[in-house]
Amino acid sequence: MKEVILIKLGEVVLKGLNRRSFEDVLLKNIRRRIGGLGEFDVTERQSTVYVVPHEGADLNGAEERISKIFGIAAYSRACETQKEIGAICSCAADYLHKELSSVKSFKVECKRSDKKFPLNSPQICAKAGEFLLGQFPNLHVDVIEPEYTVRIEVRDFAAYVHGNSRHGAGGIPVGTGGKAAVLVSGGIDSPVAAWMMARRGVELTAIHFASPPYTSERAEQKAADLLRRVGEYAGRITMFTVPFTKIQEEIKEKCPEDLFTIIMRRFMMRAAEQIARREGCEALITGESLGQVASQTLQAIVCTDEPARMPVFRPLIGMDKVEIIDYARRIGTYDLSILPYEDCCTVFTPRHPRTRPALKFVEVAEEALDVDTLVSDCITNARITKIEPNR
């Protein structure tokens, strides 16, 4: 019995003349993600990707990783068989024996892309259905609301039998949407924002700000662990850890307390943009949601963005906290995000932060600081960590 994985393309099929380039990136991503699990043939024909294992390859592990690759709408474990109706029927009975033995109703669906096959799709369904009814006395046919659907695909080189398809991660392949730098804290929001932009094909670089001794090594490790979870979908991520202590101490000493958070975030934007440009990124990404905290009002965001000279994407901007938490649970970052290792955003938090800051007053307050030197120093001392996805 030869078992394979059939992958159905999602949004990629809607692309025009550049569709082939999207498919090539997707195939490359699949090969890279399953490469350590043994030898596989990964090919694409008729809008379906075939993942065929060689002897000893881990098909279960490959299926798990494929479920998290962006650009895939659905996937199925399937049994490959000869393009002969008797072989197809026998394969369905053997391969799906456990599932068909445990239900009472079923139907058969067929797609026949090989039009030279002597039976058409309704005839294949009728023949297979009749055969399965004879093999499984517990079954009856229900074409409206069956408990189980047997799916048969007759393609150019073989026929394939499988059950219900599973949903893929959707989106478009990572690497087709450009490159951007995400500002990652240890909270709930920024990993979700990173995941959302990766789902739109964006290759991620991550920037984490650390303020020892006010923040611990565990906080930095937490950020790396969060990126590793995101990397299960987004692939490899380079993380820059930027030392931020001196900047925060300077702001605390020389600037009005109620503007501390806004000025701090402006420095983050300056540093992140310089790193992003150096890494070939074309945009910044943050996890801000409008009105969630004092520094995320419309006026505060205007002040925060002003130093940046590249686009700042905020994929969570219109979401509430419950929605963001739902996404965090879905992608597996929530349990890490709530660990009690706080990041630099909690250092020197003002008692009464300005929620509607005026840009001109923020700029006047920053005149007390040597902005260029502070930014240059923190970038120079940034540390680089290569984040590999969880295996």
136 lies in the same domain as 198: no
**What's the helix, strand, coil split of the chain in %, to 5?**
45, 20, 35
Domain that holds residue 330: 179-387
Is the same domain home to 360 and 227?
A: yes
Identify whether residues 73 and 203 lie together within a single domain.
Answer: no
185: tokens are 């804290």
280 shares its domain with 344: yes
Which 3 state secondary structure label does DSSP give 285? Answer: strand
Which residue, chain included where needed, has tokens 């219900």? Answer: 164
Do residues 68 and 207 both lie within one domain?
no
Whose CA is closest to 149, among 165, 163, 169? Answer: 163
Which whole-number Å values give the CA distances from 253 to 45, 58, 78, in the listed order?
A: 64, 58, 65
Closest alpha carbon to 165 in 109, 91, 226, 97: 109
Question: What pLDDT does residue 390 have?
Answer: 65
Residue with tokens 């979870």: 229
List, for residues 97-119, the tens digit of each pLDDT value.
999 999 999 999 999 999 899 99
Measured CA to CA, the distance from residue 50 to residue 64 in angstroms comes to 15
Residues 6 or more apart whose CB falls under 8 angstroms from that of 326 comprise none
pLDDT at 48 over 70: yes
| Mean pLDDT rounded to a whole number for the chain | 94
Digit-coded pLDDT (tens) for 123-135: 999 999 999 999 9
259-283, pLDDT tens digit by residue?
Answer: 999 999 999 999 999 999 999 999 9
Backbone dihedral angles phi then psi of residue 181, each to the nearest 5 degrees: -105, 125
- Partners of 106 in beta bridges: 141, 148
pLDDT in tens, 213-240: 988 889 999 999 999 999 999 999 999 9
Is 174 within the bounds of a domain?
Answer: no
Cα–Cα–Cα angle for 382, 346, 210, nearest 5°? 10
pLDDT recorded at residue 330: 95
For 257-278, give one letter per residue: b (16+ CB within 10 A) or e.
ebbbbbbbbbbbbbbbbebbee
CATH number for the domain that contains residue 160: 3.30.2130.30
Q: Tell whether 302 and 161 lie within a shared domain.
A: no
For residues 89 and 108, membership in a common domain is answered with: yes
Token pair listed for 281: 């990124």
What percent of the chain clears pLDDT 90, i.e. is strictly above it? Answer: 85
Together in a domain, 111 and 240: no
User: Which residues are CB-contacts of 195 (< 8 A; sequence separation ≥ 6)?
Assistant: 230, 233, 234, 327, 331, 333
Which tens digits make up the pLDDT trace of 284-306?
999 999 988 888 899 999 999 99
What DSSP string runs through 235-262? --EEEEEEE-HHHHHHHHHHS-GGGHHH
Residues 163 and 235 in one domain: no
